[in-house]
């Protein structure tokens, strides 16, 4: 036995040695051309999900916008075409088409097929630009199954087509023109974007509206031509598709007010705390432009948007750091100087002065550094000092020159400071009370057995009836259930101290394990799937909206981390003989059964299960069916409205079983738009909510 063991060990060592010996130069793989992009797309666009898909549009649009920032263009059109294609047109100088000395091919081909090739690395091609890595156009090309560039330049029309980053032919002149500019069309590759290649029109509209505010005098048109009967876009004389006068949705944006207009637009559903919008734009040594606009509104959430060379930075960066630090310092200085704090020696914190603010900070730099190709965070250190200097001086002057606005702003910060202290005391009291009573978890929570958060999930259900069914039908090892008693508190206008006095919200906080407010710690999250499972009626929709409001305002990292889901229970259970089917939409049921399936026995929501069994007995006897070799046409349909109407087996196989259920992941695609929606639906803006309900009432599906 000992000798056999030694032989096995020797063989194992020989295999290890062979692997080491085989690791030589031949093992090193060199990716050529645009292969690195297709191999590791996440390095260049962040993700191959919806965010990365839309990032392709931003990359192409940013090139056109940079032409406008340089004063070479004033008109950009983005069109949605059939077959998931996007077409971006600008009236700029047009991409150069002459031969590039270094690559020996057309400059157009070089830009589209070579990484780190572009006109933004130096020289006078661009004074300020959003692109700096020279990978934008080539990355879009690499990740598209179809890409075409048409250049109108120096009286000629030039074209080149590509597929998956490789040219299909050389650059070719196809005609003459009086226009000047570039047309880029592309179709994303389904092999890369496996989650889907359908673009969201509203998402693009919101993004491009924002861009129009940032470049004064730039006209941006967005056209949804996906359903157009005929869109003539092949090698013809059509430059802007809007000239075809297609009967399709379209928007045109053009603003002269700059960031002040953007702040006004963002605050249109809120009540301003002060009348005048603060605004400053100034050039400072080392930075081409610093532009800041702000206004406080009667709300608790801050809205701070950062842009660097017109690129939106969702993760902030040095310019946002400079702004926040200076805002806190300036308001503290003014309050002390004018004896307005009224709260002893305490200073405002950053959270105090940010409550209810809408601010837009835009910087333009010649040499700019982002943290990553997706440009989500600005890394240029000179931006921090520039914003601090320009904003600090101008905002201090604004407070002195506008005493009414200053009093309103300081009053807002004082209220926020008092609320913060009260909330902290209430939170400490709640947590301390929980520890003393030994109630680390709420009593109604049926917890799961595993302690591994990565495989744990919690179902938040509506009422004890659904809770009892879910607790019986669940997988006890990995699935926890927390039933809610009615509707939770609407937290849109409630502060933390009032929230923690709510038993329902306190139960949620304790169940998640992350704490809340300034002590929130996502690393302590107990479940990596938080699943909202409410009934398919108006009350269920309201409860779901209340929960999403809570998550968005106080547990946003849970949404951003992809931990929040919405369960999709079926609307119908259909029985035909021995066959049982579940349908999740009315359309799905009609498509499968047909409109003329007869006879249909419909079991209403108010009928008992005993009545269902009686109805089932009217079906054809199974022995008779086998004898006559005929199937019954009788169909038994049960319409579910609540999870409590299902038995545990039905709930498991339709809603809780990971192998068969349907879950919708909650994502934040546009933070500005999300803010507006929650404020409109759950805030004090009754006129906007009334208008929304009246405009969308026909879309509601209500069972009477």
How would DSSP label each residue in 307-341? EETTEE-TT-BHHHHHHHHHHHHHHHHHHHHTT--
Give the max Cα distance, the chain: 97
Closest CA to 41 of 27, 53, 28, 59: 53
State yes or no: pLDDT of 33 exceeds 70.
Answer: no
Cβ-based neighbours of 698, under 8 Å, separated by 6 or more: none
In the chain, the percentage of residues whose pLDDT exceeds 90 is: 45
Catalytic residue, chosen from 315, 539, 588, 619, is 539
Asked about 537 being catalytic, the answer comes back as yes
More confident residue, 360 or 268: 360
d(CA 551, CA 505): 11
Q: What's the pLDDT score for residue 699? A: 54
Closest CA to 424 of 553, 551, 522, 517: 517
Residues 272-281 pLDDT 10s: 999 999 999 9
More confident residue, 117 or 652: 652
Q: What's the pLDDT score for residue 685? A: 64
State yes or no: pLDDT of 438 exceeds 50.
Answer: no
Q: What's the pLDDT score for residue 115? A: 80
Question: Is 428 within 8 Å of 518 (Cβ atoms)?
Answer: no
When mean pLDDT is compared across 563-572, 602-611, 668-677, the lowest value belongs to 602-611
Full set of structural domains in the chain with CATH: 37-253 (3.30.565.10), 259-421 (3.30.230.10), 441-569+666-671 (3.40.50.670), 572-638 (no CATH)
Q: What is the DSSP string of 44-69?
A: HHS-SSHHHHHHHHHHHHHHHHHHHH
State yes or no: pLDDT of 431 exceeds 80.
Answer: no
What is the Cα 8 distance to its own chain's centre? 54
Residues 519-528 pLDDT 10s: 789 999 999 9
Q: What's the pLDDT score for residue 28? A: 36
Q: What's the pLDDT score for residue 472? A: 93
When mean pLDDT is compared across 137-141, 232-236, 477-481, the lowest value belongs to 232-236
Cβ-based neighbours of 513, under 8 Å, separated by 6 or more: 524, 525, 526
Q: What's the pLDDT score for residue 231? A: 55
d(CA 240, CA 235): 13
Q: Where is 266: in which H helix or E strand?
A: helix 259-266
Q: What's the pLDDT score for residue 624? A: 43
User: In this structure, are strands 75-81 and 85-90 parallel, antiparallel, or unpaired?
Assistant: antiparallel
Asked about 535 being catalytic, the answer comes back as yes
Q: What's the pLDDT score for residue 598? A: 47
In the chain, the percentage of residues whose pLDDT exceeds 70 is: 79
More confident residue, 15 or 412: 412
d(CA 618, CA 641): 24
Question: Rounded to the nearest 5°, which phi and psi values hold at 66?
Answer: -65, -35
Q: At what angle do helices 318-337 and 381-401 cross, to 10 degrees?
A: 30
Indicate the average pLDDT of the chain: 82
State yes or no: pLDDT of 121 exceeds 70.
Answer: no
Q: What's the pLDDT score for residue 684? A: 67
d(CA 566, CA 547): 11
Q: Which two tokens stand for residue 191?
A: 């092999």
User: What is the three-state SS of 522-567?
Assistant: HHHCCCCEEEEECCCCHHHHHHHHHHHHHHHHHCHHHHHCCCEEEE
When mean pLDDT is compared across 106-110, 176-180, 660-664, 689-693, the lowest value belongs to 689-693
Residues 245-274 pLDDT 10s: 888 999 999 988 789 989 998 898 889 999
Closest CA to 662 of 604, 574, 582: 582
Q: Which two tokens stand for residue 246?
A: 């297609």
When mean pLDDT is compared across 126-140, 515-529, 576-590, the lowest value belongs to 126-140
With 0-12 / 13-18 / 19 or more C-beta atoms within 10 angstroms meaning exposed / middle / buried, residue 597 is: middle
Question: Is 370 within 8 Å of 378 (Cβ atoms)?
Answer: yes
Per DSSP, the chain holds a count of helices (H) and strands (E) of 23, 23
Catalytic residue, chosen from 462, 492, 497, 685, is 462
Closest CA to 331 of 312, 308, 359: 359
**Mean pLDDT of the 686-701 span:** 60
More confident residue, 644 or 360: 360
Q: Which two tokens stand for residue 635?
A: 């169909």
Q: At what angle do helices 318-337 and 403-437 cross, to 10 degrees?
A: 100
Q: What's the pLDDT score for residue 227? A: 82
Asked about 462 being catalytic, the answer comes back as yes
Alpha-carbon distance values, 427 to 424, 522, 547 (Å): 5, 18, 20
Q: What's the pLDDT score for residue 127? A: 52
Q: Which two tokens stand for residue 88?
A: 């971006």
Catalytic residue, chosen from 59, 148, 535, 675, is 535
Q: Which two tokens stand for residue 52?
A: 């990365």
Task: Indicate the pLDDT class of residue 204, thresholds 50, 70 and 90.
Answer: very high
State yes or no: pLDDT of 570 exceeds 70.
Answer: yes
Q: Which two tokens stand for residue 207?
A: 């993004």
User: What is the three-state SS of 644-666?
Assistant: HHCCHHHHHHHHHCCCCCCEEEC
Question: Is 166 within 8 Å of 141 (Cβ atoms)?
Answer: no
Residue 299 region, left (φ>0) first, then alpha (ψ -120 to 50), else beta?
A: beta
Catalytic residue, chosen from 393, 455, 537, 670, is 537
State yes or no: pLDDT of 329 exceeds 80.
Answer: yes
Residues 70-94 pLDDT 10s: 889 999 999 999 999 999 999 999 9
Cβ-based neighbours of 561, under 8 Å, separated by 6 or more: 522
Residues 402-419 pLDDT 10s: 999 999 999 999 998 988
Q: Which two tokens stand for residue 577?
A: 């003989």
Alpha-carbon distance values, 100 to 105, 120, 131, 157 (Å): 6, 15, 20, 19
More confident residue, 533 or 688: 533
Question: Rounded to the nearest 5°, which phi and psi values hold at 583?
Answer: -125, 140
d(CA 257, CA 277): 12
């Amino acid at each position: 036995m000992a000798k056999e063991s030694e032989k096995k060990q020797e063989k194992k060592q020989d295999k290890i040695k062979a692997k080491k010996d085989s690791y030589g130069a031949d093992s090193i793989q060199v990716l050529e051309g645009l292969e690195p992009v297709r191999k590791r797309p996440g390095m260049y666009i962040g993700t191959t999900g919806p965010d990365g898909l839309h990032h392709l549009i931003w990359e192409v649009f940013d090139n056109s916008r940079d032409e406008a920032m340089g004063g070479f263009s004033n008109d950009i059109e983005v069109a949605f075409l059939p077959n998931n294609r996007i077409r971006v047109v600008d009236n700029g100088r047009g991409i150069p088409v002459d031969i590039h000395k270094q690559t020996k091919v057309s400059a157009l081909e070089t830009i589209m097929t070579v990484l780190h090739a572009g006109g933004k690395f130096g020289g006078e091609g661009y004074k300020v630009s959003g692109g700096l890595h020279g990978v934008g156009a080539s990355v879009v090309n690499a990740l598209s199954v179809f890409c075409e560039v048409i250049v109108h330049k120096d009286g000629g029309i030039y074209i080149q087509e590509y597929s998956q980053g490789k040219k299909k032919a050389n650059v070719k002149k196809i005609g003459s023109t009086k226009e000047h500019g570039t047309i880029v069309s592309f179709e994303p590759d389904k092999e890369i974007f496996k989650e889907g290649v359908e673009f969201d029109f509203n998402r693009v509209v919101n993004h491009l509206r924002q861009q129009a505010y940032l470049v004064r005098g730039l006209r941006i048109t967005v056209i949804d031509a996906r359903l157009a009967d005929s869109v003539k876009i092949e090698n013809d004389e059509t430059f802007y598709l809007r000239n075809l006068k297609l009967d399709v949705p379209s928007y045109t944006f053009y603003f002269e007010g700059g960031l002040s207009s953007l702040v006004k637009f963002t605050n249109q559903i809120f009540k301003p705390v002060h009348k005048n919008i603060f605004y400053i734009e100034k050039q400072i040594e080392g930075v081409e432009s610093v532009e800041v606009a702000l206004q406080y509104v009667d709300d608790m959430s801050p809205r701070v948007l950062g842009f660097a060379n017109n690129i939106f930075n969702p993760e902030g960066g040095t310019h946002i750091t400079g702004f926040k630090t200076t805002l806190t310092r300036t308001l503290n200085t003014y309050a002390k100087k004018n004896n307005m704090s009224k709260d002893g020696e305490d200073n405002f914190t950053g959270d105090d002065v940010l409550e209810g603010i809408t601010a837009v900070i835009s910087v333009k730099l010649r040499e700019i550094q982002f943290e990553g190709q997706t440009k989500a965070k600005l890394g240029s250190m000179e931006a921090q000092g520039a914003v601090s200097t320009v904003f600090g001086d101008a905002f201090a002057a604004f407070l002195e020159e506008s005493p009414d606005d200053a009093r309103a702003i300081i009053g807002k910060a004082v209220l926020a400071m008092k609320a913060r202290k009260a909330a902290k005391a209430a939170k400490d009291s709640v947590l301390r009370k929980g520890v003393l009573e030994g109630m680390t978890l709420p009593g109604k929570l049926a917890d799961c057995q595993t302690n591994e958060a990565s495989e744990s999930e919690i179902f938040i259900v509506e009422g004890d009836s659904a809770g009892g069914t879910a607790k019986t039908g669940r997988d006890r090892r990995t699935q926890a259930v927390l039933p809610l008693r009615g509707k939770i508190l609407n937290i849109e206008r409630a502060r933390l101290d009032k929230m923690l006095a709510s038993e329902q919200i306190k139960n949620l906080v304790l169940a998640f394990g992350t704490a809340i407010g300034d002590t929130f710690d996502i690393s302590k999250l107990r479940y990596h799937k938080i699943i909202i499972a409410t009934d398919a009626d108006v009350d269920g929709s309201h409860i779901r909206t209340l929960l999403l409001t809570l998550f968005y305002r106080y547990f946003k990292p849970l949404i951003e981390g992809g931990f929040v889901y919405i369960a999709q229970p079926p609307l119908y259970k259909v029985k035909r003989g021995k066959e049982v089917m579940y349908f999740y939409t009315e359309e799905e049921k009609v498509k499968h059964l047909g409109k003329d399936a007869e006879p249909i026995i419909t079991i209403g929501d108010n009928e008992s299960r005993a009545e269902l069994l009686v109805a089932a007995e009217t079906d054809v006897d199974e022995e008779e069916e086998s004898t006559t070799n005929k199937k019954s046409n009788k169909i038994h349909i049960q319409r579910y409205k609540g999870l409590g109407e299902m038995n545990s087996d039905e709930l498991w196989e339709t809603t809780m079983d990971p192998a068969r259920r349907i879950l919708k992941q909650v994502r934040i695609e546009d933070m500005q738009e999300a803010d507006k929606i929650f404020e409109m639906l759950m805030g004090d803006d009754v006129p906007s909510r009334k208008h929304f309900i009246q405009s969308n009432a026909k879309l509601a599906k209500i069972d009477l």
